[in-house]
Structure 1
Amino acid sequence: MFIRRYTALVIILLAAIGLPAMAQPSPAWNAADIRLQLKKLDTLGSVLYVAAHPDDENTRLLGYLAKEKLYRTGYLSLTRGDGGQNLVGNEQSELLGLIRTQELLAARRIDGAEQFFTRAQDFGFSKNPQETFTIWDREKILGDVVYMIRKFQPDVIICRFPADSRAGHGHHTASAMLAAEAFTAAADPKRYPEQLKLVKPWQAKRILWNTFSFGSINTTADDQFKIDVGAFNPLLGKGFGEIAAESRSQHKSQGFGVPASRGSSLEYFLTIKGGTPKKDLLDDVNTSWSRVAGGDKVGHLVDAALAAYNMDDPSASVPALLEIRSAIQALPDGYWRNLKLAETEQLIYACAGLWAEAYSTAPTVVPGTNMEATVQLINRGNIKVTLEQIDLPGKPNAAGQQELGYNKFTSISQTLAVPANTPESQPYWLAAAHRVGMYVINDPLLVGNPENIPPLQAKIRFRIGGQEFNITRPLQYKYTDPVKGEIYQPLVIAPPVVADLNSQVYIFTDTKPQPVPVKIKAMADQVQGTVKLQLPAGFVATESSLPFNLAQKGDEVEVRFNIHPEKNITDNHADTFTVVMQTNGKEYTQSLQQIRYDHIPLITLFPPAAARLVSVNLKHNGNRLGYIPGAGDMVAASLRQVGYDVTELTEKDIMSGNLQQYDAIIAGVRAYNVNARMKYWQPRLMEYVNNGGKLIVQYNVNSPLVTNNLGPYPFNLSRDRVTDENAAVHFINPKDPVFHYPNEITAADFNGWVQERGLYYTTNADKAYDKLFTMHDQGESPLDGSTLVAHYGKGAYVYTGLSFFRQLPAGVPGAYRLFVNLISVK
């Protein structure tokens, strides 16, 4: 029981001090870090910041609160940012949420705050909270906010946004509404009483709105309470404007790199509920040790340790810290007692120069198989440290008692049997199927956690100065890259076999068989079995099952099924099939998906090995397409699915190649935002159109653009969008040939769209453009700028803000038919 509680406290502390719990080297503090943490040990105050998305948070304020005021500081983001855009790759939805989760954790490691989430899924832009709460389960998300307040016990809660339209996004407004209601509900034992098995009611002193000046909206005023957060901290060697820039620049998928600022910087606040602060955010909050019954003695001991601290010899502070630890242990069990006990122990390890890590040299392991694990230790302080015991998964007492001599490196390796019940490396919020807007989390203890707790850990017991300590270190994968040096990544727990499909969607335009290759990969040695496809009604495979035999871990084999729709299947029929592998009497249906970017740890998940089968009545004109990549999308791959020969165009292709060989050229999403060469390619592309080509430009955000001349005639980009994917679409000129060739387009082609109709629509378009559609969200005026078509010379130009980049990979039949018509426009 003690070990379990201790492990949880260490994980909390690692987050609180801005150090990683996994996929990072073992933490090591310098003498200035230790002094800062000693000062924090003497501060008992907490602040919880609440907003809707990754990148909503005020990193300057978080850094100031965590590292200058030394409060325990947390950021509760209601969502993981799943519905946003992606500037670094083509991941969308849940996969983008995984990236943005890690970017938030990277930001917190810099600014020192902790990171939390609710079960809410970011489903894309929402124009008002009423719409938001039709998709989010309001009571459940409110319960999550209440739970986090009760668990975190903040003295003050701060909202990023107001509870009105000035928030600019339905999710933003909803976050403020929920925070204000949760402020009161968290203190009421009658609200969410089932939580009281895990947490206690909590009443924060006040809830504030951190007012702002964004663009044309300025909600700050001189009569508001304000604090200067632009301080310089000599122990950090930085000001909080510099720390804030480093933190915010971790949101790389959103293109949020910002310059550092230096000097005075005011933050403004309005009181929502509770007492209004006069001098400090935590006015009327006792942040000294006297807030804890019997804590005065601890406070005096910490003050003495701070006064005696020698930055040239931190190990000299260990005896004082051991006395502090004993005094804290003698206090009644409680929030601050447990948190500060963990902080004290981290300080003892740091001052003693104690370093420990546990790792594997294999990137993946399979439950029930063997693995090699290594624990490495060193005592780099002038303090006697005795190793008492190391417990490894499935192998207690893997190493016995020995003294760790000064600066002598100790390495202990063991062969372990990975426990058969070890859970696979699946993000806990993706473990169960979920509906749009809400994740399903069956274990209430996981609610709020930013990521999984590592399932395989080394538990190391030490003795220092007559006191016993327990350190928990996650087993990580460690290797050396010849360019990047030593790399730490999460150790992946895998099933014995996985399957990979080469597409998420298979489009059938007739009843002819289509090959579906399935790549089987062994995650362990000696994996044999059979694979079959679990097909929906209306589709048939010519092969019932196929064998596989893989001798070594990492071996792969590709098998091929041939699928065709039955003759009586209706057009626009779509359903999902699953790959089922049988080995050793068990069935496995997982694929392996990994997301690799240098700025975050490797992300691994095992989603179902499944894809959509779509039967669509589709005709297309032309065959060869050129594609100019933008910020990242799957449109080119989707077009290959329906028979197009798609070439990704290079600088040489565009500037000196024969563009007229292409029936159409398509610019990927945000190409004019992210590719500076578009400014120089644009004249060549316009020449291509003038000579008879067709250029289709997908959506771009309205700023920044590398050129304002996106088309042959003027138009502007706005922030207009239609977020309701089911919004009615009206054809401005139903006789326009684009609706009739080569496919007949009807209102039914807008059925089954996902997330939205489109975004960043055009405005102020020249009369040379034909506008194709009007559409609008509920209660708003019709928008006619989603799609423009113009004839230019012998060719045609199309700009579309419709979100084909979401619809085509999702296998929406009508989106394919419409996009093919745009490619074929005469």
Structure 2
Amino acid sequence: MNYRLSFLCLFSFAPFFVKAQASVQLNAAEIRQGLASLNVTGSVLYIAAHPDDENTRLLTYLSKEKKVRTGYLSLTRGDGGQNLIGTEQGELLGLIRTQELLAARRMDGAEQFFTRANDFGFSKTSAESFKIWGKEQILSDVVWVIRNFRPDVIITRFPEDARAGHGHHQASAILAREAFSAAADPKRFPEQLKYVKVWQAKRIVWNTFNFGSGNTTADDQLKLDVGLFNPLLGKSYGEIAAQSRSNHKSQGFGASLQRGSSIEFFSPVAGDVAKNDLFEGLNFNLDRDKGTGKVQQLLNAINAAYDPADPSKSIPALLQLKEEAKTLPFKQEKLDELILACAGIWIETTVPEATYALNDSISVLISAISRVKNDFPLEITLQDIHTHQLIKLPPNQMVTQTAIITGSSVGITQPYWLKKTHPTGSYMIDSLSHLGRPEASAPHVGTFRVSFGKQFVDVTRPVVYKHTDPVRGELYQPLVVAPPVTVTMAEKSYVFTNNNTRKIAVQLQGFKDKTKGVLNPKVPEGWKVSPEKINFDLEKKGMQQHLEFTLTPAGSVEGGEFSIWATVDGKTYNQGLKVLSYDHIPVQTLFPFAAAKVEKADLKFAGMNIGYIAGAGDLIPESLRQVGYHVTLLTENQVTNADLSVYDAVITGVRLYNISEHMNAIQPKLMDYVKNGGVLLVQYNVNGTLKLDDIGPYPFKVTRDRVTDEDARVTFLAPDDAALNFPNKITAKDFTGWIQERGLYFAGDIDAHYTPVLGMNDTGEQSSNGALLVAPYGKGKFVYTSLAFFRELPAGVPGAYRLFVNLISSK
């Protein structure tokens, strides 16, 4: 990017994450910890498949006790997982989980990396994972990270076989082992060698585990006690690790603080076998590299003389160390950070507004202060290295200046892996400079030079929006550069029942004053849209306009894509607006394509009034409203006190029986509703944390069985049951076009009162009959379904709609 204020490229492979704050101030204990870490070389890379797979306790120990450079490579961003805090799925969930990982790393001190692999959902084998990802491509990504990060030791979370419990897990171990060798082979992925060198780690080990029903540890394995207490930080590594892991809120991984001894076990995979110590045969001292004797002497003196009451006393010696080490392999970035911390240097670059348009001129306020004592012997100055404008930083006095950047030099601030449409297996990434990074480098105004007399430290700061909330106080958000106008559709898919015309609502929003243009819709071949274009004129920045297009299915094409293109000043844009706001991560603003799937569905209905009890979060209510149902969201209080007989059916959201503390009070009311003639449909729950044993009127167990192949053959076990016949006749065609999976957490040990309606299985497995159970109870009907309706309905799968309508219909 070419900024109006140009800057020196200080890029290195670490750290990649951008902190939410503009400047983070280390306290005296953290500075002491950092000074000690300058004595340590070496690095460790931990490799697994998903966000939350990492061993945060081990990462914390390696980073903060052993003080080696520590990284976590997650093959995926967790796009295919569940979401306990909202309704986001797919790419949006992956974006949340990316930020949760970065929040975790800020606590445990490790760095975060990714491949371009997309989490397409649960996979039972590594072979399936590789088929969908493209093994060679993802292997090249792992090699790229290893060649950049240059770890001495590689650690995998999982084994390469079924004990891993997930095909992605198995695949992560296989890729790690193969990349261990491939990274050192100049014949493998030679195109990378223009930018990096080959690298051979000393060893790769498997971090064995004992959790769930699996224990892969053994007394003869290499052991390491990571449950130590760090008096400087005032916490044990188990306590820090629990706080780190608790950032995985979307997965419900809040963890209790752990104190005391905690043993980790390791099994050799390849390379030199360590018998007594994970770092056996490795020299992590400074004398690992030649010419470090003077540097070591200086470091010893600095650590011995450090005064936590006045860290600024260490600055002259640290500057001397910087000069001595400038041509040596050394933690230069860490050293610069410590020099600034000892001086109490705080620099931030902020903008007065949260969003700007692509061609805007953006005024940036630069604020800086140094908190040294008045008798500090060196003059401290701040200089923009392009303009050479020099500002003195007198002790404890805030200074400010302004700079200008342009929105066009920044570009639209879209997550780099979401800039292009992509196949199921992986994201499309244009540049190796992005590969591996959790997110793109944040916009900044340039490089600032903090001078201490004749010596200096160069530093950059992300440009952020800062504001003060009356409840939460001072808050930071990433700078957002938007297209001049966004066109946002309410849904990602639209189902047209019985060839009926539908109105598609869109929200137009301008990001600059006087935004004029025209909207041009595109529809599947043969379909009709009215109007064929809409002129717009948004007078003020932030102005919104709600518009409608009328879309009519026609011709022989069953469905396709409906997209809207906005033309402004001769340029076209095809982007909507989506903002993700959660307290535990920075606000995420992205611009998804202004396009939606449209499909025709032959639907008949019987009863249109639905009560819905939300569970962990899904989009079923919105999907049902789309096809004409009246859906009322019911609270626990309404369920226990209201008259449920007014509803033709009551539906429970996914995992309600796992998360609701009120199920013991709700369940009797729901059973009475069914007994008196109602229809109750219960969507899937997981088997580990049920709030009560009996979900239905008759017993069954929730298992971990699932069918992950979305195209798996479905057999009709009860072809005459109303579930397959009323009001819609279900055929094999209704199971085409499903996404990600058929279903999960199937029922087992099924009581004879239930009718299993469907049978299905993944290749090579026994057929399961636990995906859909129906039972009469009193005058009503109870349905338990593990089918993935929470994915299929929002995706606009016609057959899923037809079956779901049958299940909530009374006959």
TM range (shorter): over 0.9
2:743 corresponds to:
758
Contact in 2 for aligned 1:521/1:555 (Cα 8 Å): yes
2:172 corresponds to:
175
What CA distance in whole angstroms lies between the structure 2 residues aligned with 1:169 and 1:692? 42
Which secondary structure does the structure 2 equivalent of 1:744 belong to? coil
1:727 corresponds to:
712
Within 5 Å, which residues of 2 pair with 1:585-624?
585-624=570-609
1:569 corresponds to:
556
Q: By how many angstroms is 1:215 displaced?
A: 1.9
Within 5 Å, which residues of 2 pair with 1:666-815?
666-815=651-800
What CA distance in whole angstroms lies between the structure 2 residues aligned with 1:276 and 1:69? 20
Please say if 1:545 is aligned against 2:533: yes
Please say if 1:280 is aligned against 2:310: no
Residue identity matched to 2:513 = D
Residue of structure 1 aligned with 2:358, choices 362, 367, 388: 367
What CA distance in whole angstroms lies between the structure 2 residues aligned with 1:68 and 1:641? 55
Contact in 1 for aligned 2:611/2:634 (Cα 8 Å): yes
Contact in 2 for aligned 1:230/1:263 (Cα 8 Å): yes
Deviations 1:67-99 (A, max 9, x none): 000000000011111111000001011111101
Residue identity matched to 1:375 = I
Residue identity matched to 2:52 = D
Within 5 Å, which residues of 2 pair with 1:425-464?
425-464=413-452
Contact in 2 for aligned 1:288/1:299 (Cα 8 Å): no
Contact in 1 for aligned 2:443/2:479 (Cα 8 Å): no
Please say if 1:23 is aligned against 2:20: yes
Q: By how many angstroms is 1:417 displaced?
A: 5.0
Residue of structure 2 aligned with 1:412, choices 365, 384, 401: 401
Q: By how many angstroms is 1:539 displaced?
A: 1.4
What CA distance in whole angstroms lies between the structure 1 residues aligned with 2:684 and 2:29? 49
Residue identity matched to 1:411 = T
Residue identity matched to 1:787 = L
1:632 corresponds to:
617
What CA distance in whole angstroms lies between the structure 1 residues aligned with 2:162 and 2:234? 40
Q: By how many angstroms is 1:373 displaced?
A: 1.3
After TM superposition, the structure 1 stretch with the greater mean CA deviation from structure 2, 307-316 or 453-462, is: 453-462
Aligned CA distance change for structure 1 residues 385 and 450 (closer, same or farther; 3 Å): farther
Q: By how many angstroms is 1:280 displaced?
A: 2.3
Q: Which runs of 5+ in 2 are unaligned?
A: none
Residue identity matched to 1:508 = F
1:658 corresponds to:
643
Q: By how many angstroms is 1:236 displaced?
A: 0.8
Contact in 2 for aligned 1:433/1:440 (Cα 8 Å): yes
Identity %: 51
Q: By how many angstroms is 1:370 displaced?
A: 2.3
Please say if 1:137 is aligned against 2:131: no
2:808 corresponds to:
823
1:345 corresponds to:
336
Contact in 2 for aligned 1:319/1:465 (Cα 8 Å): no
Contact in 1 for aligned 2:361/2:407 (Cα 8 Å): no
Residue identity matched to 2:142 = V
Contact in 1 for aligned 2:123/2:708 (Cα 8 Å): yes
What CA distance in whole angstroms lies between the structure 1 residues aligned with 2:429 and 2:132? 17
1:115 corresponds to:
112
Within 5 Å, which residues of 2 pair with 1:155-194?
155-194=152-191
Please say if 1:223 is aligned against 2:220: yes
Residue identity matched to 2:138 = I
Which secondary structure does the structure 2 equivalent of 1:444 belong to? coil
Contact in 2 for aligned 1:366/1:418 (Cα 8 Å): no
Q: By how many angstroms is 1:604 displaced?
A: 1.1
Q: By how many angstroms is 1:367 displaced?
A: 2.5
Residue identity matched to 1:161 = F
Within 5 Å, which residues of 2 pair with 1:287-326?
287-326=284-323
Deviations 1:240-277 (A, max 9, x none): 11011111111100001111111111111111111222
Please say if 1:378 is aligned against 2:369: yes
Within 5 Å, which residues of 2 pair with 1:46-65?
46-65=43-62
Aligned CA distance change for structure 1 residues 159 and 168 (closer, same or farther; 3 Å): same
Which secondary structure does the structure 1 equivalent of 2:296 belong to? helix
Contact in 2 for aligned 1:186/1:203 (Cα 8 Å): yes
TM-score of the pair, normalised by structure 2: 0.97
What CA distance in whole angstroms lies between the structure 2 residues aligned with 1:512 and 1:738? 25
What CA distance in whole angstroms lies between the structure 2 residues aligned with 1:644 and 1:81? 32
Contact in 1 for aligned 2:513/2:539 (Cα 8 Å): yes
What CA distance in whole angstroms lies between the structure 2 residues aligned with 1:761 and 1:509? 30
Residue of structure 2 aligned with 1:486, choices 443, 465, 474: 474
Please say if 1:522 is aligned against 2:510: yes
Contact in 1 for aligned 2:467/2:475 (Cα 8 Å): yes
Q: Which runs of 5+ in 1 are unaligned?
A: none
Aligned CA distance change for structure 1 residues 419 and 699 (closer, same or farther; 3 Å): closer
1:358 corresponds to:
349
Q: By how many angstroms is 1:697 displaced?
A: 0.5
Contact in 2 for aligned 1:22/1:476 (Cα 8 Å): no
Please say if 1:124 is aligned against 2:121: yes
Please say if 1:8 is aligned against 2:5: no
What CA distance in whole angstroms lies between the structure 2 residues aligned with 1:465 and 1:279? 49
What CA distance in whole angstroms lies between the structure 2 residues aligned with 1:665 and 1:325? 68
Which secondary structure does the structure 1 equivalent of 2:91 belong to? helix
After TM superposition, the structure 1 stretch with the greater mean CA deviation from structure 2, 477-486 or 614-623, is: 614-623
Q: By how many angstroms is 1:410 displaced?
A: 1.0
Q: By how many angstroms is 1:170 displaced?
A: 0.6
Residue identity matched to 1:98 = L
What CA distance in whole angstroms lies between the structure 2 residues aligned with 1:21 and 1:94? 20
Contact in 1 for aligned 2:158/2:207 (Cα 8 Å): yes
Structure 1: 4+ residue segments shifted above 6 A: none
Q: By how many angstroms is 1:653 displaced?
A: 2.4
Q: By how many angstroms is 1:389 displaced?
A: 2.4
Please say if 1:271 is aligned against 2:260: no
After TM superposition, the structure 1 stretch with the greater mean CA deviation from structure 2, 201-210 or 284-293, is: 284-293
Q: By how many angstroms is 1:518 displaced?
A: 1.6
After TM superposition, the structure 1 stretch with the greater mean CA deviation from structure 2, 201-210 or 283-292, is: 283-292
1:389 corresponds to:
383
Contact in 2 for aligned 1:499/1:592 (Cα 8 Å): yes
Count of residues paired in the alignment: 804
Contact in 1 for aligned 2:21/2:476 (Cα 8 Å): yes
Residue of structure 2 aligned with 1:501, choices 476, 489, 504: 489
Q: By how many angstroms is 1:7 displaced?
A: 2.8
Contact in 1 for aligned 2:362/2:407 (Cα 8 Å): no
Q: Name the Cα RMSD after superposition.
A: 1.5
Residue of structure 1 aligned with 2:231, choices 220, 231, 234: 234
What CA distance in whole angstroms lies between the structure 1 residues aligned with 2:496 and 2:587? 35
